[in-house]
Amino acid sequence: MELWFLGTSAGMPIANRNVTAIALQMPQNRGTFWMFDCGEGTQHQLLRSPFRLSRLEKLFITHLHGDHLFGLPGLLSSRSSLGGTEPLDLYGPPGLREFIEATLRISETHLGYPLRIHEIEEGTVCEDDFFTVEAAKLDHRIDSFGYRITELPRTGVLNTELLAKLGVPSGPLYGSLKSGRDITLEDGRIIRSAEVVGNPLPGRIIVVLGDTKPCDSAIELARGADLLVHEATFANDLVDKAGEYGHSTTLQAAETAQAAGVKWLLITHFSSRYSSEDLASLEAESRIVFSHTDAAVELKPYAIPRTTARNSD
């Protein structure tokens, strides 16, 4: 799994930074990607990435401010024009349905795929056999949500070398053992799954927050996460301005990461007053409190490891 930032600027784009959008490449066997927010110009950023719109499976909107939303109608239309036929699930705060349906109706845009709009509340918003997504309200000027994506543990690795020594023929019996079922061989020997399958592989937890001031719900949502994406609109010398506009500073984002016990913090949503050259100083300011902080760089893949080591495969 990899996280790609398609935009890291707050409020409006600048010459070398777009407004907010994030793509999450799902595991290879799934063959899809998810998105979080869709600011104006997101389509152009996707053209510079390895993602194909036809493979977009789910899109989560954190809140209805324009820098997180205005790219959505065009992206939905392009997904249809590019041959996307699979259903797309769209999640976001109340009001999202009205915005999308009115925009598509007035522009006479017709989609070639089912669009399923889910206006969310706090709690579990979707789940399947591999992932659960939960949402919590944050503290912003309008309703703003954070999303916690939990990958369920995977079955451990099958010890095929041991099975060969035990004379277990490959095929359906391997599948039974892998799924946790004991088997009985023709000679009466019982092979127990627990003895030939390794420990379960832990799932990853990724938390993506919308715009927010520091709040308890952000800490609770991010508790123990492998990766936290947190806005850092301003440097800490503008802490009063951050509070006035419902945002966080670099230090406040780091304090949330520290309190939640996350493994890795990626800060984003930087005010347009900061140039790309300023990001190193914003990153350094966060690292005063939380050393495992990086300032997000657009169109750079961030691999999300399964283990506690950030540099693991």
Given the structure tokens 């750079």, which residue do they identify? 300
List the strands of the sheet with 56-60, edge to edge.
115-119, 88-92, 56-60, 33-38, 21-25, 2-7, 301-303
**DSSP track, 202-243:** PPPEEEEE-S--S-HHHHHHHTT-SEEEEE--B-GGGHHHHH
Given the structure tokens 């600011």, which residue do they identify? 39
63 carries a ligand binding annotation: yes
Annotated active-site residue 67? The verdict is yes
Q: What residues does each domain of the chain span?
A: 2-154+201-303, 160-196
Given the structure tokens 């949402």, which residue do they identify? 135
pLDDT band of residue 198 (cuts 50, 70, 90) is confident
269 carries a ligand binding annotation: yes
Burial class for 212, CB neighbours closer than 10 Å (0-12, 13-18, 19+): buried
Fold of 2-154+201-303: Metallo-beta-lactamase; Chain A (3.60.15)
How confident is the model over 32-86, as pLDDT tens digits? Answer: 999 999 999 999 999 999 999 999 999 999 999 999 999 999 999 999 999 999 9
Catalytic residue, chosen from 37, 67, 237, 240, is 67
How confident is the model over 88-104, as pLDDT tens digits? Answer: 999 999 999 999 999 99
Distance, in Å, from the CA atom of 59 to the CA atom of 35, rounded to the nearest integer, reads: 5
143 carries a ligand binding annotation: no
Write out the H or E segment, with its range, that includes residue 98: helix 96-106
292 carries a ligand binding annotation: no
Cα dihedral sign, 164-169-175-179 = negative
Q: What is the mean pLDDT of residues 267-290?
A: 97
Is residue 37 within 8 A of residue 22, CB to CB? The reply is yes
End-to-end Cα distance, the chain: 10
Residue % of the chain over a pLDDT of 70: 98
How confident is the model over 218-234, as pLDDT tens digits? Answer: 999 999 999 999 999 99
140 carries a ligand binding annotation: yes
